[in-house]
Chain A
Amino acid sequence: AIRMTQSPSSLSASTGDRVTITCRASQGISSYLAWYQQKPGKAPKLLIYAASTLQSGVPSRFSGSGSGTDFTLTISCLQSEDFATYYCQQYYSYPRTFGQGTKLEIK
């Protein structure tokens, strides 16, 4: 199975900050990488697919990049509603593995 490793596991930031979360795959997955946002007690929400394509309705302050094994999610100007946990997921092959998550907290 492809292992997905996110860093950092947690991150403290302030409204208006720019933050970057990284996700590394244990083998190449081309651009078959998605990013999700999850708030407590809620289902995950798809933010980005194909490594860099913004899902419809997602604010443009979210962006993704990378291919192969290394990927990043960037939030350019943090808003209060962005404090949540973020997960990457590869859908290159089954099992479709997730990263362990990055909890973004208010500083």
Chain B
Amino acid sequence: EVQLVESGGGLVKPGGSLRLSCAASGFTFSSYSMNWVRQAPGKGLEWVSSISSSSSYIYYADSVKGRFTISRDNAKNSLYLQMNSLRAEDTAVYYCARDSADSCPPDYWGQGTLVTVSS
């Protein structure tokens, strides 16, 4: 069974940093591109970042470019999102999601982890 479990969320002050993790199991993690998608309270979905299976290709939303860094450790079956210079508008539930195949949309999603940026 495919499982994605996010962790690392919490309360952080504006300008602070946080590192999210996503532990993957039930599939060959190293074969799949992965994504982070967020959802602000009461709002819609916003794609944040994607990373290819071998980390060769990385993409970011303009809203986080230069502040967030996506990475993965295929030996540990884990996906990460390093978030720096956090702003109030980064407050959201952050989901990790697996692409179903190359050039295909995410088919499995984690349960999400809440990041709250507030003083």
* A→B interface (CB under 8 Å): 1, 32, 34, 36, 38, 42-46, 49-50, 55, 87, 89, 91, 94-101
Contacts and interface: CB of A to CB of B under 8 A. Distances in A.
Contact of B45 (A42, A49, A94, A101): A101
Interface of B: 35, 37, 44-47, 50, 59-62, 95, 97, 100, 103-107, 109-112
Nearest to A46: B107
B105 A46 contact: yes
B45 A55 contact: no
Interface pairs A-B: 5 shortest CB-CB = A43-B109, A34-B105, A94-B59, A96-B47, A101-B44
A73 B93 CA distance: 26
Most chain B beta-carbon neighbours within 10 Å: one of A34, A96, A100, A101: A96
A38 B100 CA distance: 18
Given A43-B95, A49-B100, A49-B104, A98 B47 contact: yes
B45 to A, nearest CB: 5
Contacts of A99: 44
Contact of B104 (A36, A42, A44, A91): A91
A5 to B, nearest CB: 12
